[in-house]
A and B are shown apart, each in its own frame.
Chain A
């Protein structure tokens, strides 16, 4: 026996044997790899078949043309089957609530424009210039949905300009002072100047849409308004809270920790009741503080607290070296956060962030408890009609399906984003 060995030539790579690739191989490995797994596979197939064969007829026999539940039952004549006639009959309510039907074009247009506004935010291939449209979109959507004078949202938007102007004028003096001045200028503008200015502009150039009151809003339109606004606002607020919680400044830290812990410790329902009932006691009498706006604020604060903790997790996962390298290159705190820390921390947090988004979107159905007509609230309203008294499954299946489409969409987008941002090659 000899222990010495010297390789004379290196072996070239070869293709794997044919039996080790392909569908047959996959099935043998994953479905029938042994007696137990084969039995489990067959049992699973039977269970799936049993479920389909029992639920299937309910869908396949479905009645789409009927004006009432009684009519449905007559057509079905004792067979099992869904009565989707209710969706045909009441789809407009499920989508728009009691929004005037001759004005449906407004939410529709707002929805289409929302897709345009979201495109540059979600996909980097879309031209960056569209971001300007995204920035003014909230004002456009507000005007389209609620109507009223065109100049109100314009005057509100101008508040941002006023704040930025004040910031720029004072920026050379001190960064903290200029930031405070910017915020103060914007707030002063909104509280004292925005509405009178809008009134003046309206009298000069009347441009208004028919007003629609918040109580007429409902259905998926309401869910989307609350959900999308809440999502768009809770992410930046959550980032600020997460940074505040890690701040060296004791006051900021205490405020952020207190806020996060308070909001996380209280059920959303409680906050919504606070929004709908209690706030009126605290606000000066006669103030008209829109109920949808109040709900949006509460939902946003609620989601932001969770978001902050998710992002803090992402921040904690970053090695200290990243902060040090950014510092060593001379980047200041905000530049380091924006260019180095946040892109990485947010990327790590994507699953948690989308989790919070999806939770927020589904939680919009809770507004039913404070009397807003979200899809669930409308399903109750529809059942109150004698024609559709006793119909449950069909409405819930439809509502569930719509929510699923939105939430699954968000989930797929987050996976796409994770793949796209994966640059660490681990």
Chain B
């Protein structure tokens, strides 16, 4: 399997998938100019699902999850997040964005603010939480990602893994119902990947609905309930992880798996 073996015992007691639909994407298409990046995407995510999206670079997997909180605009079809359809209506977009947390490959922490300020900013200005309360919430989540002692430092003083954990805490401070991860470990040194994955596993154990674009196949096997393989802007194959890895159906998937797992 992949280099990174998840050695943790995963507590699956709270990982429950309900019938409630968290995200519905129907016949969604997107173009960059003439280039057809996403083609007829159909996908329904139930609350409590942990989905790993994988695929070669340029397959549209990042674009897909960026469409879910409208960092990218789709041109055709339907995206409904938590019962709110994404259209050009700014109110809906802001509502969805405050319900959906996002973690980026390059962390995107705000370098001019301390770790604590990074975490309290959105709750104070978007949720109108009083400052003191926002700080308590922030400290709670910093504790959870195991870096409360760094609260007063600036992002530039932290290691990559610590920065990514702060980014996760920053999203959690908005109490999101869905978390999106866009290659959260791709910019990290191997030593730091584990600490970020551990945080994500912990989140999954608490029943968070997660969509994660990643190449960490160990994580996919241990945590995901569904793996989606994309190529050329389309969903090529999806399955529960055990079957996906053991018994891939399409040739494209087989080739991809042999390349990333073979060496």
Give the interface of A toward B (CB within 8 A): 319, 321-322, 324-325, 327-332, 335, 339-340, 343-344, 347, 421, 423-426
Contacts and interface: CB of A to CB of B under 8 A. Distances in A.
Most buried by B among A319, A322, A330, A347: A330
A329 B157 contact: no
Contact of A329 (B112, B156, B174): B174
B32 interface: no
Given A328-B69, A335-B125, A347-B112, A424 B94 contact: no
Interface stretch (B13-21, B98-106, B236-244): B98-106
B102 A328 contact: yes
Nearest to B98: A330
A423 B122 contact: no
A321 B104 contact: yes
Given A324-B104, A424-B154, A344 B112 contact: yes
Given A324-B104, A423-B156, A425-B157, A330 B111 contact: no
A106 B71 CA distance: 56
28 contacts: A321-B104, A321-B106, A322-B110, A324-B104, A325-B102, A325-B108, A325-B109, A327-B69, A327-B97, A328-B100, A328-B171, A329-B97, A329-B126, A329-B170, A330-B94, A330-B122, A330-B174, A331-B122, A331-B126, A332-B90, A335-B125, A335-B126, A340-B121, A347-B112, A421-B112, A423-B111, A424-B111, A424-B154
B71 A328 contact: yes
A46 to B, nearest CB: 47
A426 B155 CA distance: 11
Most buried by B among A319, A325, A327, A339: A325
Contacts of A421: 112
Most buried by B among A343, A421, A423: A423
A347 B112 CA distance: 9
B104 A325 contact: yes
A336 to B, nearest CB: 9
Contacts of B106: 319, 321
Given A339-B125, A424-B156, A328 B110 contact: no
Nearest to A423: B154
B94 A324 contact: no
Most buried by A among B71, B112, B171: B112
Contacts of B94: 330, 332
A339 B125 CA distance: 9
A334 B104 CA distance: 22
Contacts of B156: 423-426
B226 to A, nearest CB: 23
A319 B187 CA distance: 16
Contacts of B98: 329-330
Chain B interface size band reads 20 to 34
B111 A344 contact: yes
Contacts of B69: 327-328
A312 B22 CA distance: 40
A324 B157 CA distance: 22
Nearest to A321: B108
Given A329-B97, A330-B98, A425-B156, A322 B90 contact: no
B157 A340 contact: no
A294 to B, nearest CB: 39
Given A321-B108, A324-B104, 20 more contacts: A321-B107, A322-B108, A322-B110, A324-B108, A325-B102, A325-B109, A327-B71, A328-B97, A328-B100, A329-B97, A329-B98, A329-B126, A329-B170, A330-B94, A330-B97, A330-B126, A335-B126, A339-B125, A344-B112, A423-B154
B73 to A, nearest CB: 12
Given A329-B97, A329-B121, A332-B90, A340 B110 contact: yes
A329 B120 CA distance: 11
Contacts of B170: 329
Contacts of B90: 332
Contacts of A330: 94-95, 97-98, 122, 126, 174
B103 to A, nearest CB: 9
A329 B126 CA distance: 8
A322 B113 CA distance: 12
Interface string B62-74: 0000000111000
Contacts of B100: 328
Contacts of A327: 69-71, 97
Contacts of A424: 111-112, 154, 156
B210 to A, nearest CB: 15
A60 B111 CA distance: 53
A344 B157 CA distance: 17
Contact of A425 (B71, B102, B121, B154): B154
Contacts of B154: 423-425
Nearest to A421: B112
Interface in B42-70: 69-70
